[in-house]
A and B are shown apart, each in its own frame.
Chain A
């Protein structure tokens, strides 16, 4: 008994000794940097001057052994450990308690090896997406994974959240690209799973994928890569209504086209974007695949002209047009006011008659695209499309990563913006789209686009924008934000759609999960076995552990 006790003390000392060599900081500024992700609710809380909880320490491990040391020491100390990629998550996946340790993986950022023949790349989990893509491009390859956040998200974060990129209809989601994972579980044990390892098989890979840091810290990932395409073709089309546009998307997939880009914008989004038809513009095949062309010239912007116009900018422009004056301050105030009166704003926007716009892009060699492009155009025209020419495609290509990394301007005028991405079978897409817009009519403005399509269903990507209730006090924006999400999640569930397609569940959508007892017990057992002390990112995915 005494010996066991002494051994226990020795073990504890050893664990704490080992963790001391891992670079770390408890400086409040360092801890502030990893205190939360980009969940918009956190910005609202900050605006309302609600306190921010800082973790007790942030670690920057350099290899698997150091990750193991941190997890083991945390287990001894019964502290939560929260894996942190780049913090670009938008669902509250990172929300450490004041006693928690954060494991920031960004020092584990090496491209370990590239196997050109088997077309695989092995990378450490903390590498930022565009660094990996550039390294691959330099060798003639692409991963084909282009989330808008490619400049501020990591491979580990992608796998942990089942991320999707802009070219998903050609290259798949990240879960289609993951071939093997290395990690450390909540016991501090190293793990390895590979789809071609008979002892683990695809099962283990797919059980760790999407686990949002709650089952293991992913340290290294093997992904499939592909040679860069030599040419691209991009074109815009419009449709008389949304169902016709959706039907056209589905028909293209059914014809075996696998377009690299397939993005349909709803009428409002299309109208706010503007643009005119150019049916006579000749079909043009350009040198350079979409994968390569994207990164070279569409980098992140820091404000000004280069930035992709947001819903806020589009509204400002509309108000300016309607008001026939250009007083930026007044216009912004009006837009702020509109965000606070979504019922009124929606009634005005109902009068904006846009036509859904589709951007389609193909990749391949020149001869292949010269053959496919006219056929694709013909197919779409036969399905009721009007040809908008090259410009919607080239515009999309040029701006595709120019998302703003600053807080949305809507926050500055008392409003808020958030996104919600769900997925369902094709027959549910239009009813769900209409139902969500209807359910949120008096709480938010709603835009939607459809950019991840499959033969058996499609994802809907909603943007919600709103504000506080006029004269209802400082916390009213927060209250309306929560009401909007409650209503959205209820509507999504009622339509049988899944509550997340590629952002994960985090904490923001846990209330939308309704696990039946059988599901619960499978998930709980996985958690119990891999993380018996529930120290790994407690609270995400509705898994056991203090939120």
Chain B
């Protein structure tokens, strides 16, 4: 995984703990104005209806990589696929396997909370009332409610303007593929990888699992449930599955050990992605759940309404399953 490197192409500067008094980047001013007018009219703004113009990321030096901590600061108008490409050119990778979506990161965050959960260490947010918010620079949310997650609420209270993403050094990782007899065995393997908390990323589809992790993790024999000895083949440097045309636009977070949820997603032809070392798992989807930007008051009220209406649907034991089996439950 990430390690300082002395190669000439890598910027090894350390990123500032927090930006000093951030000013709203000019490119975002139109959104603020749009939100202001919409609020005056008592309306929301559809996130799909916001075009912000993407910055150019041609030159490799546009990305400042903090090799010491394995972090990179990016403009949230960039897409994950563009960021991954630029990182790859510098010997680094996101802890996510391809295919990566072409949607800008800020928009993805509102539809794929998993991305923020797993990838974003800290961010500059633009509250939907037009204020800039700096979340603390720390390896964990540490104190109080996580402000970062105001950008992933179903009605976001804020959007990402800049994000500090976790990255890993390609020099310290390898990618391998495992194949399984059935979806159930593959789902169990995903769960075990996440439990082990050692691999960087995993992507499961059909009966195939691609894993990115430290070289010492690559199985030497036959992986549990796999039909072929692993590693079956080495895929390219960041585990790319270029043949795939699947471009996801949203992700539904799963309980990391939810083997039934994973299995049913696999059976439905979906991809299941995990970031085992951060213990996060999600199903990738092409649906575009509607997301409207309201004002902070409206967005908070929407979240609290959702919180208050959810208990009616929640089973008494507090679990909330998307798939059926309950026979495995046991009351101690």
Q: Which residues of the partner chain B approach A226 to less than 8 Å between Cβ atoms?
A: 195
Binds A, one of B10-18, B33-41, B85-93, B238-246: B10-18
Is B172 a contact partner of A255 (Cβ separation < 8 A)? yes
Partner of B133, one of A192, A196, A497, A518: A518
Q: Which residues of the partner chain B approach A203 to less than 8 Å between Cβ atoms?
A: 113, 149-150, 152-154, 303
Binary CB contact string for chain B from 125 to 164 against chain A (1 if under 8 A, 0 otherwise):
1010101111011111111111111101110011000000
- A212, B143: Cα distance in complex, Å: 9
Instruction: Give the residues from 208 to 227 in chain A that come closer than 8 angstroms, CB to CB, to chain B.
Output: 208-212, 215, 220-222, 224, 226-227
Binds B, one of A20-28, A237-245, A454-462: A454-462
Is B133 a contact partner of A112 (Cβ separation < 8 A)? no
Is B144 a contact partner of A199 (Cβ separation < 8 A)? no
Q: Which residues of the partner chain B approach A200 to less than 8 Å between Cβ atoms?
A: 154, 303, 306-307, 310
Is A518 a contact partner of B216 (Cβ separation < 8 A)? no
Binary CB contact string for chain A from 503 to 525 against chain B (1 if under 8 A, 0 otherwise):
01100010001001111011101
Given A210-B145, A496-B18, A519-B147, A525-B319 contact (CB < 8 Å): no
Is B131 a contact partner of A518 (Cβ separation < 8 A)? yes
Partner of A257, one of B18, B198, B308: B198
CB distance from B199 to the nearest CB of A (A): 7
The answer to the question of B297 belonging to the interface, with a C-beta cut-off of 8 Å to chain A, is yes
Q: Which residues of the partner chain B approach A306 to less than 8 Å between Cβ atoms?
A: none
Partner of A118, one of B15, B114, B255, B316: B255
- A195, B280: Cα distance in complex, Å: 10
Is A206 a contact partner of B149 (Cβ separation < 8 A)? yes
Q: Which residues of the partner chain B approach A192 to less than 8 Å between Cβ atoms?
A: 307, 310-311, 313-314, 318, 320
- A370, B141: Cα distance in complex, Å: 35
- A227, B257: Cα distance in complex, Å: 11
CB distance from B140 to the nearest CB of A (A): 6
Binary CB contact string for chain B from 283 to 315 against chain A (1 if under 8 A, 0 otherwise):
000000100000011001101101111110110
Q: Which residues of the partner chain A approach B125 to less than 8 Å between Cβ atoms?
A: 518
Is B113 a contact partner of A518 (Cβ separation < 8 A)? no
Q: Which residues of the partner chain B approach A199 to less than 8 Å between Cβ atoms?
A: 154, 306, 309-310
- A203, B146: Cα distance in complex, Å: 8
CB distance from A20 to the nearest CB of B (A): 25
Is A208 a contact partner of B145 (Cβ separation < 8 A)? yes
Is A207 a contact partner of B255 (Cβ separation < 8 A)? no
- A196, B158: Cα distance in complex, Å: 21
The CB with the most chain B CB atoms within 10 A, among A455, A504, A523, is that of: A455
Is A424 a contact partner of B132 (Cβ separation < 8 A)? no
Q: Which residues of the partner chain B approach A326 to less than 8 Å between Cβ atoms?
A: none
Is B139 a contact partner of A522 (Cβ separation < 8 A)? no
Given A180-B319, A256-B216, A529-B144 contact (CB < 8 Å): no
The answer to the question of A258 belonging to the interface, with a C-beta cut-off of 8 Å to chain B, is yes
Binary CB contact string for chain A from 126 to 140 against chain B (1 if under 8 A, 0 otherwise):
000000000100110
Task: Name which residue of chain B comes closest to A207, CB basis.
Answer: B145
Task: Name which residue of chain A comes closest to B195, CB basis.
Answer: A226
Partner of A197, one of B70, B152, B303, B310: B310
Is B154 a contact partner of A198 (Cβ separation < 8 A)? yes
Is A180 a contact partner of B197 (Cβ separation < 8 A)? no
Task: Name which residue of chain B comes closest to A121, CB basis.
Answer: B332
CB distance from B158 to the nearest CB of A (A): 7
Binary CB contact string for chain B from 263 to 290 against chain A (1 if under 8 A, 0 otherwise):
0000000000000011100000000010
Task: Name which residue of chain A comes closest to B323, CB basis.
Answer: A118
Partner of B144, one of A118, A201, A541: A541
The answer to the question of B179 belonging to the interface, with a C-beta cut-off of 8 Å to chain A, is no
Partner of A120, one of B313, B316, B319: B319
Is B144 a contact partner of A172 (Cβ separation < 8 A)? no
- A135, B16: Cα distance in complex, Å: 45
Is B150 a contact partner of A118 (Cβ separation < 8 A)? no
Binds B, one of A145-153, A182-190, A387-395: A182-190
The answer to the question of A17 belonging to the interface, with a C-beta cut-off of 8 Å to chain B, is no
Residues of B in contact with A, size category: 35 or more
Given A203-B149, A522-B133, A118-B253 contact (CB < 8 Å): no
Given A114-B332, A204-B303, A516-B133, A182-B318 contact (CB < 8 Å): yes
Task: Name which residue of chain A comes closest to B253, CB basis.
Answer: A195
Is B17 a contact partner of A428 (Cβ separation < 8 A)? yes
Is B258 a contact partner of A118 (Cβ separation < 8 A)? yes
Is A118 a contact partner of B259 (Cβ separation < 8 A)? yes
CB distance from B207 to the nearest CB of A (A): 20
Partner of B142, one of A117, A501, A541: A501
Given A210-B145, A212-B144, A424-B17, A172-B331 contact (CB < 8 Å): no
The answer to the question of B55 belonging to the interface, with a C-beta cut-off of 8 Å to chain A, is no
Partner of B255, one of A139, A196, A208, A505: A196
Given A122-B318, A222-B318, A206-B1 contact (CB < 8 Å): no
Binary CB contact string for chain B from 192 to 219 against chain A (1 if under 8 A, 0 otherwise):
0001111110000000000001101100
Is B330 a contact partner of A113 (Cβ separation < 8 A)? yes
CB distance from A166 to the nearest CB of B (A): 15
Is A522 a contact partner of B157 (Cβ separation < 8 A)? yes
CB distance from B139 to the nearest CB of A (A): 4
Q: Which residues of the partner chain A approach B146 to less than 8 Å between Cβ atoms?
A: 175, 206-207, 209-210
Q: Which residues of the partner chain B approach A118 to less than 8 Å between Cβ atoms?
A: 255, 257-261, 321, 328
Partner of A190, one of B121, B311, B321: B311
CB distance from A539 to the nearest CB of B (A): 14
Instruction: Give the residues from 24 to 80 in chain B that come closer than 8 angstroms, CB to CB, to chain A.
Output: 66, 68-71
Task: Name which residue of chain A comes closest to B150, CB basis.
Answer: A522
Given A193-B307, A197-B310, A500-B142 contact (CB < 8 Å): yes
CB distance from A298 to the nearest CB of B (A): 23
Listed in ascending order, the chain B residues whose CB lies under 8 Å from chain A are 1-3, 14-18, 66, 68-71, 113-114, 117, 121, 125, 127, 129, 131-134, 136-150, 152-154, 157-158, 166, 168-169, 172-173, 191, 195-200, 213-214, 216-217, 252-261, 277-279, 289, 296-297, 300-301, 303-304, 306-311, 313-314, 316-322, 325, 328-332
A-B contact pairs, 7 of them (CB 8 A): A113-B332, A117-B257, A119-B257, A201-B154, A210-B145, A456-B71, A497-B138
Given known contacts A195-B255, A207-B149, what 4 new A-B pairs fall within 8 Å (CB)? Answer: A116-B328, A139-B332, A172-B278, A191-B311
Q: Which 10 A-B pairs have the closest CB atoms?
A: A496-B17, A256-B214, A518-B131, A119-B257, A457-B139, A454-B139, A500-B143, A518-B133, A192-B310, A117-B328
